[in-house]
Structure 1
Amino acid sequence: MKHLLISLILLSSSQVFAWGGRGHDTICRVASFLVKEPGLKEYLQHKPQMMGHLCNMPDFYWKSLGGDANKLGNPTHFIDIEVIGLPVKDITTDYKKLIADFTGKSNKFKNDGSTIKSIPTEFGSSWWRVDQFMRIIENLGQQLAKATLPANFKEEQNNELPYNKLAYEMVVSMGLMGHFVGDNSQPFHTTADYDGYATGHGGIHAYFEDAVVGQFDGDLDYLVLKEARAMKNPEFLKPATPIEKMKVLSVISNTEIPKILKVDPVTKKSTLVKEKGMEIKTAAERKPASEAFKKMKPLIVKEMARGSVLLANLWDEAYAKAGKPKLGAYKSYKYPFTVDFVAPDYYDTTTPAEKK
């Protein structure tokens, strides 16, 4: 029983790890080579390794902090579309209105008479999380426009120089935003059945995003970059706003779940038993990830490529809205080994969201 409980803890925490460390790193490295704005492209071509590191910050360092970093941060990694029962196109982009309209309403996914106690916790907010970082970057650009560029080597290495501090914060915000764009390209971050227990595929989340991704050779970045460059005017780039772009990508990602389940090599279905108000989960038994890799490989490459394409597009947009600052003037060797948690700002967080 102890072993089962430990397994349950691991399984229940897997939702917020999206692509796993390797997947997020790949998406952000590839996006660094897809940006089109010259000033941004020139800067990022030397920083793919740093952007990959930053894009993993919300899953690793932030999760180690506990407290609000988990209570407020964990639900920002997903959108559980089925919870409110609306078609994605009809979901408002006003998050406060979403909370007002659906708190206390029936949870359409559970369909057991239970009500939604917390939209931030139960529905999630990855679309708005990306928009938050877009706004942060634009604001930093406005401040950079008023700051003086470093004039010599000494000033270039002065991390307290206003221009350097703002440029550093901008790049960090871009990297952090990349994590949540990547989350949205992972199909199981767009569904309330995020780990497959409703369909007998329990444990699919970590198996798909981590175990199978681990089967790639050293050419993963190349394969994703090649796929990304072949995408011509994808649907998720057509909307006018970051939230709307994220919405479209959510729909595309979500529709690929049946394809993944179809090639999931399950040998014994998972079970979910409710006893005394608790859910006891036993993961599905399945063949090794090496056997699933061949069939899942094309899906993974395409999904990661979509994340990279959207991220590069949003980085370009954010950079342009920030006034296209001369990031090349920022030459400090400061590296973002750890970054402070950034709380959501698009709803009232004074009542902490419960951990999902």
Structure 2
Amino acid sequence: MWGFYAHQQINRIAVFTLPIEMIGFYKHHIQYITENAVNPDKRRYAVEGEAPRHFIDIDVYGDSAIYKMPRYWKDAVEKYTEDTLVVYGVVPWHVNQMRYRLTDAMRIGDVKAILVLSSDLGHYIADANVPLHTTKNYNGQLTGQHGIHGLWESRLPELFSAKYDFFVGKARYIDNPQLEIWQGAVRAHEALDSVLYFEKELTRIIESDKKYAFETRGRNTVQVYSRDFSKKYHEMLNGMVERQMRRAIEMVGSFWYTCWIDAGQPDLDKFRSFQFSDEELKKRKIELEEWKKKKIESRQHENN
């Protein structure tokens, strides 16, 4: 999972890729779509079965599995069984399932579902574009690099994304969304070696007391990767985080657009004035507060 900040930025900026027929509705509800981009991460600790929707440990399936893995759910189940797939993550298939749900919501004019599903779909698409979401070594725990997940997806965007170029052009129609999200996962996985190698190399050459620092977050003082270490690592990655955020933004907008086209291009402007009721907002807030109790085991990636 990208950190909360990056997820929210990806959903927010994706709105501006949309055509005139869609952007009025999405801009009117941009605060909701931005703020709720992080809801799936919160649900990981409160909803059974949520966690596998955020990743795929593709390397457990063997050498070059990222290129050989069945792209369609039915084929994958026949080859590996559903139980196995769920254990090692299902993000590419879950994105496609969410795409169908959003298309249906647009087709029948269920505005509540359109907003909820748009926010959630953006989250899962963004996750599929994170290199460390495509490996069993998701937090460097197998290579002595514990904490690298939060460094790559949270610390670096928070420090440096203000200077990124997020003009990615207009959303496009995707002919085969299932293959599209897999291509995103392939590109992410191809960057994995560099993610791990450069951190290990920088750790080897930098003074040990310069790798971490302490910062105040609210009322707490927490250990973080130092700004100097983060800057050097960011430079070694040579624009990788920016590229992956750009790809995620363009892909999110394009999936929303594709759902709208496949739904028959419904008039979304008539839903601009929609507002969740106070009761609905209160209920949703209570549901999302459940994540703090962490009743369900989930991978610890970053300090959200």
TM-score w.r.t. length of structure 1: 0.66
Q: Distance in 1 between matches of 2:228 and 2:298?
A: 34
> What are the superposed Cα offsets for residues 69-89 of structure 1, whole Å, 9 maximum, x if unpaired?
1x3110110011112225333
Match of 1:63 in 2: 44
Query: SS of 1:118's equivalent?
Result: helix
Q: Which residue of 2 aligns with 1:169?
A: 113
Q: How do 1:1-356 residues align onto structure 2 when only pairs under 5 Å count?
A: 18-36=1-19, 38-60=20-42, 62-65=43-46, 69=47, 71-85=48-62, 87-103=65-81, 118-122=84-88, 124-144=89-109, 166-216=110-160, 219=162, 223-226=164-167, 228-229=168-169, 240-264=175-199, 265-267=202-204, 286-287=211-212, 288-294=225-231, 295-296=233-234, 298-330=239-271, 331-334=273-276, 337=281, 338=284
> Which amino acid counterpart does residue 55 of structure 2 have in structure 1?
F
Contact 1:129 1:177 in 2 (8 A): no
Hey, what's the Cα distance between the residues in 1 that align with 2:251 and 2:157? 20
Q: Which amino acid aligns with 1:303?
A: Q
Q: Match for 1:57: what amino acid?
A: N
- Provide the rounded CA distance (Å) in 2 between the counterparts of 1:57 and 1:355: 15
Q: Counterparts of 1:190 and 1:63 in 2: how far apart (Å)? A: 17
Which letter maps to 2:3?
G
Distance 1:289 1:188, change over 3 A: farther
Range with bigger deviation, 189-198 or 315-324: 189-198
Alignment-derived partner of residue 10 in structure 1: none
Contact preservation (8 Å) 1:75, 1:355: no
Correspondence for 1:348: none
Name the CA distance, whole Å, in 2 between partners of 1:253 and 1:181: 12
In structure 1, distance between residues paired with 2:37 and 2:23: 18
Secondary structure of the 1:216 match is helix
Gaps of 5+ in 2: 213-224, 289-295, 300-304
Structure 1 residue 121 displacement after superposition: 1.5
- Aligned residue for 2:104, secondary structure, equals helix
**Structure 1 counterpart of 2:90, which letter?**
S
Whole-angstrom distance in 2 between the partners of 1:255 and 1:90: 14
Q: Which of 1 and 2 has greater Rg?
A: 1
Deviations 1:80-125 (A, max 9, x none): 111222533332233243233224xxxxxxxxxxxx9622112x11
Percent pairwise identity: 21
Contact 1:224 1:304 in 2 (8 A): no
1:23 and 1:323, CA in 2 relative to 1: closer, same or farther beyond 3 A?
A: same
Show structure 1 runs of 5+ residues with no match: 1-17, 104-115, 145-165, 269-284, 342-352
| Residues 95 and 128, structure 1, Cα contact 8 Å, conserved in 2 | yes
Report which of the two has the higher share of helix: 2
1:45-87 Cα shifts (integer Å, max 9, x gaps): 2333221222211012x2352xxx1x31101100111122253
Q: Provide closer, same or farther for how the CA distance between residues 329 and 239 of structure 1 changes in structure 2, counting only shifts above 3 A.
A: closer
Give the length in aligned residue pairs.
264
Q: Alignment partner of 2:166: what SS? A: helix
Q: For the residues of structure 1 that align with 2:183 and 2:173, how far apart are their CA atoms? A: 9
Question: Measured at CA, do residues 308 and 289 of structure 1 come closer, stay the same or move farther in structure 2, by a change above 3 Å?
Answer: farther
* TM-score, L = length of structure 2: 0.76
Aligned-partner Cα distance in 1 for 2:297–2:9: 31
Task: Give the direction of change, closer, same or farther, for the CA distance of 1:313–1:117 in structure 2 (3 Å limit).
Answer: closer
Counterpart of 2:291 in structure 1 is none
